[in-house]
């Protein structure tokens, strides 16, 4: 009888042990890669605030600078592109940019539809789901910035088709090369903290290519001489972008610590300096300082400080802000005034050229003697210059080539440009059947 009881007791204990094994295994797995709740909360908050950069920031910033007959069109394009690229990011964009590294050119398909995410993102203490959401904001900002190059003349269907293709052909590979463990970062040591190369350079160069393919507006001369129909919207949009960019710069540290605080300080200082410098340049040039110049200067400062936001000192951030205003304003005068290229709202000048300049200056300002945090293992000033230069050439070349291919491919099915009569009447009525304001 006692033997029988002992036998049944042993079997019961064995069964209980088997039931506990999965629980213990899961507890062990969770213990190996725990997410930090504080860092996660900061990243989620930065993501939500960062969305202000795109919605409504970029939309309002551009809407206030076009004819009143096309204001609604710009806002509609911004919101529609944001919605479309968001879906593509979840379905395929994230895995192409941040999937498993294979050859260093493109992420593998291990996270299609975000179905194979880790408990935490590698080398961080935040959940990969939070990381994917945060990176999505950058993926939305890049095509939204390009909208400024074709306002007043691009057909709505073409805009959607092109931005969808661009996000997969241009943005995702470039993000992988630099942020996803790809060849530029791992082999050459290319540095881009918050998007000067990945976002601003790619969007700016692509915008210039589209402007060349699309040709000038019918009213190019008149449009170039005016600041826009509703400067109040431009200023409000610029303020939203300012706030959103601070969140994205701080969030790029992926931790609520000193790097995040320094990125916030430097980004804010550079934006403020560039905004004021633009007003001063307007005044020295004989123009009255106004809200549009203030907002444009702020965006130029953002683009130039982005690559090195957490790696330099506030004093150097002031210098970089001054440089940003000079470069952006000079490039805008060259592109639209001398070359007569109708990059409608100066995307290449304000984002592309400043992003390129910031990326190259990163090699210099990383030096400890200039207040920088220093170079990575095995890197020197010379090595960093090479890494940054190759990064600029690779990103600019790929952006230009792939943009031209994507734009022409989509135009075979969806015409790129509206007719002359539709353009003169304004895109609000001709493309969307509505009008926000009825004045020229």
pLDDT, one tens digit per residue, over 120-157 is: 998 899 999 999 999 999 999 999 999 999 998 999 99
Q: Which of 104-113, 190-199, 315-324 has the lowest mean pLDDT?
A: 104-113
Cis peptide before 56 (omega within 30 of 0): yes
Beta carbons within 10 angstroms of residue 438's beta carbon? 10
Averaged pLDDT for residues 22-43: 63
CA distance 69 to 426: 5
Q: Which of 132-136, 409-413, 424-428 has the lowest mean pLDDT?
A: 424-428
- Whether the CA torsion 176, 395, 295, 232 is positive or negative: it is negative
Give the chain's mean pLDDT.
Answer: 89
| CB hemisphere CA count around 300 (13 angstroms) | 35
- Cβ atoms of 129 and 71 within 8 Å: the answer is no
Averaged pLDDT for residues 312-335: 97
Please give the DSSP secondary-structure letter assigned to residue 252. Answer: T
Task: State the pLDDT at residue 161.
Answer: 98
CA distance 291 to 277: 13
At residue 8, does pLDDT exceed 90?
Answer: no
Task: State the pLDDT at residue 18.
Answer: 34
For residue 102, what pLDDT band results from cuts at 50, 70 and 90?
A: confident
Two tokens, residue 345: 């709202």
Task: State the pLDDT at residue 230.
Answer: 87
Task: State the pLDDT at residue 136.
Answer: 98
CA distance 310 to 119: 26
**Closest to 244 in 3D by CA, of 128, 134, 344, 146:** 134
CATH of the domain at 345: 1.10.3430.10
Instruction: Look at residue 187 and tell me if it is in a domain.
Output: yes
**Closest to 70 in 3D by CA, of 62, 81, 82, 79:** 62
Two tokens, residue 378: 């095995």
At residue 376, does pLDDT exceed 70?
Answer: yes
Q: Which of 13-22, 111-120, 229-238, 400-409 has the lowest mean pLDDT?
A: 13-22
Instruction: Look at residue 6 and tell me if it is in a domain.
Output: no
Instruction: Look at residue 153 and tell me if it is in a domain.
Output: yes
Give residue for tokens 């910035």.
Answer: 145
Instruction: Look at residue 18 and tell me if it is in a domain.
Output: no
Instruction: Look at residue 3 and tell me if it is in a domain.
Output: no
Instruction: Look at residue 319 and tell me if it is in a domain.
Output: yes
Task: State the pLDDT at residue 224.
Answer: 56
Question: How many domains are contained in the chain?
Answer: 1
Structural domain that includes position 88: 42-432
In percent, the amount of the chain with pLDDT more than 70 equals 89
Cα-Cα end-to-end distance for the chain: 101
Instruction: Look at residue 186 and tell me if it is in a domain.
Output: yes
Strands, E assignment, 220-359? none
If one compares 217 and 18, the residue with the highest pLDDT of the two is: 217
Task: State the pLDDT at residue 25.
Answer: 31
Averaged pLDDT for residues 370-378: 94
CA distance 353 to 407: 21
At residue 2, does pLDDT exceed 90?
Answer: no
- Cβ atoms of 294 and 275 within 8 Å: the answer is yes
Task: State the pLDDT at residue 226.
Answer: 62
Number of DSSP helices (H) and strands (E) in the chain, helices first: 20, 0
Give residue for tokens 């409608």.
Answer: 344
Averaged pLDDT for residues 61-78: 93
Instruction: Look at residue 33 and tell me if it is in a domain.
Output: no
Name, in order, each residue with C-beta under 8 angstroms of 356's C-beta and a sequence gap of 6 or more: 201, 204, 392, 396
């Amino acid at each position: 009888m006692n033997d029988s009881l002992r036998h049944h007791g042993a079997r019961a204990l064995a069964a209980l042990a088997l039931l506990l094994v999965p629980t213990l295994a899961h507890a062990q797995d969770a213990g190996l890669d725990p997410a930090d709740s504080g860092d996660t909360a900061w990243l989620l908050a930065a993501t939500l605030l960062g969305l202000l950069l795109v919605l409504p920031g970029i939309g309002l910033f551009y809407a206030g600078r076009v004819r009143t007959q096309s204001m609604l069109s710009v806002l509609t394009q911004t919101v529609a592109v944001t919605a479309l690229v968001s879906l593509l990011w979840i379905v395929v964009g994230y895995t192409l940019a941040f999937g498993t590294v294979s050859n260093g050119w493109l992420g593998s398909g291990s996270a299609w539809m975000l179905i194979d995410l880790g408990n935490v993102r590698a080398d961080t203490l935040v959940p990969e789901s939070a990381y994917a959401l945060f990176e999505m904001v950058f993926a939305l900002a890049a095509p939204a910035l390009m909208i400024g190059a074709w306002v007043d003349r691009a057909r709505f269907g073409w805009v959607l088709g092109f931005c969808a293709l661009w996000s997969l052909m241009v943005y995702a590979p470039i993000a992988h090369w630099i942020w996803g463990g790809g060849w530029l970062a791992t082999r050459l040591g290319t540095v881009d903290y918050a998007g000067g190369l990945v976002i601003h350079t790619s969007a700016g160069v692509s915008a210039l290519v589209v402007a060349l393919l699309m040709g000038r507006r019918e009213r190019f001369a008149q449009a170039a001489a005016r600041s826009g129909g509703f400067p109040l919207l431009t200023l409000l949009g610029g303020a939203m972008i300012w706030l959103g960019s601070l969140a994205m710069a701080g969030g790029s540290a992926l931790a609520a610590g000193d790097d995040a605080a320094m990125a916030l300080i430097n980004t804010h200082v550079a934006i403020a300096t560039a905004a004021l410098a633009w007003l001063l340049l307007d005044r020295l040039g004989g123009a009255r300082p106004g809200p549009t110049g203030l907002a444009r200067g702020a965006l130029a400062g953002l683009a130039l400080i982005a690559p090195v936001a957490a790696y330099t000192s506030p004093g150097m951030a002031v210098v970089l802000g001054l440089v940003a205003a000079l470069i952006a304003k000079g490039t805008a005068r060259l592109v639209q005034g001398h070359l007569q290229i109708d990059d409608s709202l100066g995307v290449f000048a304000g984002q592309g050229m400043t992003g390129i300049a910031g990326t190259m200056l990163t090699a210099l300002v990383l030096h400890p003697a200039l207040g920088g945090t220093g170079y990575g293992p095995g890197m020197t000033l010379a090595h960093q210059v090479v890494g940054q230069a190759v990064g600029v050439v690779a990103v600019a070349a790929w952006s230009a080539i792939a943009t031209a291919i994507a734009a022409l491919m989509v135009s075979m099915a969806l015409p790129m440009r509206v007719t002359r009569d539709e353009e003169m009447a304004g895109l609000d009525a001709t493309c969307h059947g509505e009008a926000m304001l009825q004045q020229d």
